[in-house]
Every structure is written in C-alpha cells, then in structure tokens.
C-alpha cells in the first residue's frame, strides 16, 4: 500500500571540528568569520558549539543542525591566550541563541592546575600525590617550585616550569618556557614567566568565572567549566 504521507526529509547536520587554538586569536577570529560565511545564517545563529576536550557531547541539544566542535587547547604557544579566552567568554552575549558547552584539552587542564582551580581528586588524594610517578622527570622538566607549589597538581608544576633542555628535538624548535610552551600565556597577561602572585592578580573582568575568584577572576570559571569532566 502506497504511503501518502512520506516522512519529511531531515536536514543534514553541519559538523565542524576545530582543534588546538593555542593562543592564536587572529586565526580564531578568521575561522569564526569563515564559519559565518559558510553556514546558513539561521543554522549558525542557533548552532550548538561544543568546546571539547577528549570526547563528544551527549547532552540534550544534539538536534541542532550546525555543530561546531572545538577540541580544546586554547592556551600556550601563541601570543594571545588571554584574548582567546575572552573570545569564548563573550560568545553567549554575542550569540544568545547559540548553545555553548566548554570543555578542555591537556594544556587548559594544566593551566587550571597551576591556578589552583581544579576540583578535588575523586579518591581524595592530595594533588602532591600526583608527583611521585613522574618525579624522575622533575629536574629535566624544571617543575615549578614557586609560591603555592606544595600541594599543586603535577600538571600545574610541569606547566609553569622551566625546561632545562631548551631545544625540542622532536619538533625542531625551542621550548617556550616549559614542556607545555607556556611562556606566551604569561606574556599575554603581562607578567613574568612562572610568576604566581602577579600572574594570578591580573584580570580584565570583575565577574568571577572560576571557583576561586582570586586568580585570574576573568578566566578562572571558564577553565573550571572546561576541566570539570576530567
């Protein structure tokens, strides 16, 4: 028997994956502009944007037609980490009809660890308990030993460290500070590399975006939202 009411064709979903912004604000802005040009305006305005670490969104908004997935690692290497985080923080006010989910990559996790805004470990272990397995690398990687290091997560100490080997033979370029190439992130906030107190005091916004509002009040909640799933 012929079906006189065939199902309405489902509009194909546009899925775009973007990884490793790494502090390059101009490239991010150019990319965003290109997405606006390539995606149908009505789809772009209501897109679900997933700023993703290591896994895909399983939330209630996956029926959105346009799906823009950012794969984490917003900080380090490039010169404008602060502006990159500003860009993402400003998205909800600039695109109120879009949905945004902010998660993180390993660089973002390590940055948050240095700032002291990671949630407690599920098993109750102190953060200093994460050092032991990798302590043979401490001298070579020049782990951070400044203010607040005593109970800092391993990745925070590695992130803010000063690598004793200046040349990265794997990539054929010099390290930028630590194994995470974090020096440009400090520079983007206008503070010296590895400077905990002055670095944590720099902020452009009054609204606290981290669980601990004292360090980087503008960006801390932003990173907390990203690291929460880890």
Q: What is the pLDDT of residue 17?
A: 81
What is the distance between the alpha carbons of residues 224 and 221, in angstroms, rounded to a whole number? 5
107 is catalytic: yes
Task: Select from 64, 128, 75 the least CA-distant residue to 97.
Answer: 64
Q: Which residues contact 188 (CB under 8 A, 6 or more apart)?
A: 23, 79, 80, 81, 82, 83
Catalytic residue among 22, 100, 107, 153: 107
Q: Provide the percentage of residues in the chain whose pLDDT is more than 90.
A: 41
The arithmetic mean of pLDDT across residues 193-221, rounded, is 46
Mean pLDDT of the chain: 78
CB-CB contact of 82 with 184 (8 Å): no
Model confidence pLDDT, tens digit, residues 188-205: 988 888 876 545 544 333
Model confidence pLDDT, tens digit, residues 39-52: 888 888 888 777 65
The least confident of 7-11, 45-49, 219-223 is: 219-223
Whether pLDDT at 114 is above 80: yes
Q: Which residues contact 117 (CB under 8 A, 6 or more apart)?
A: 210, 211, 212, 215, 220, 223, 224, 227
What is the distance between the alpha carbons of residues 204 and 218, in angstroms, rounded to a whole number? 6
Contacts of 210-219 with CB under 8 Å at 24 or more apart are 210/115, 210/117, 211/117, 211/119, 212/115, 212/116, 212/117, 215/115, 215/116, 215/117, 216/115, 216/189, 218/85, 218/86, 218/89, 219/82, 219/85, 219/89
Q: What is the pLDDT of residue 64?
A: 56
Q: What is the pLDDT of residue 207?
A: 27
Model confidence pLDDT, tens digit, residues 128-168: 999 999 999 999 999 999 988 999 999 999 999 999 999 99
CB-CB contact of 22 with 78 (8 Å): yes
């Amino acid at each position: 028997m012929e079906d006189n009411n065939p199902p309405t064709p489902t509009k194909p979903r546009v899925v775009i994956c973007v990884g490793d912004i790494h502090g390059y604000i101009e490239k991010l802005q150019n990319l965003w502009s290109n997405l606006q040009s390539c995606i149908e305006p009505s789809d772009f305005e209501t897109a679900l944007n997933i700023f993703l670490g290591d896994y895909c969104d399983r939330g209630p908004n996956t029926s959105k037609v346009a799906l823009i997935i950012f794969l984490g690692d917003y900080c380090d290497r490039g010169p404008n980490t602060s502006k990159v985080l500003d860009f993402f923080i400003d998205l909800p006010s600039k695109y109120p009809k879009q949905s945004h989910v902010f998660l993180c990559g390993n660089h973002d996790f390590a940055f948050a660890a240095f700032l002291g805004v990671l949630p407690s470990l599920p098993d109750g272990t102190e953060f200093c308990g994460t050092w032991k397995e990798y302590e043979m690398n401490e001298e070579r990687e020049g782990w951070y030993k400044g203010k607040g290091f005593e109970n800092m997560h391993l990745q925070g100490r590695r992130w803010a460290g000063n690598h004793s080997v200046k040349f990265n033979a794997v990539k054929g370029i010099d390290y930028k500070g630590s194994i995470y190439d974090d020096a440009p992130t400090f520079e983007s906030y206008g503070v010296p590399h590895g400077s905990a107190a002055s670095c944590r005091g720099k902020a452009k916004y009054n609204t606290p975006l981290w669980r601990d509002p004292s360090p980087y009040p503008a960006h801390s909640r932003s990173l907390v939202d990203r690291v929460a799933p880890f």
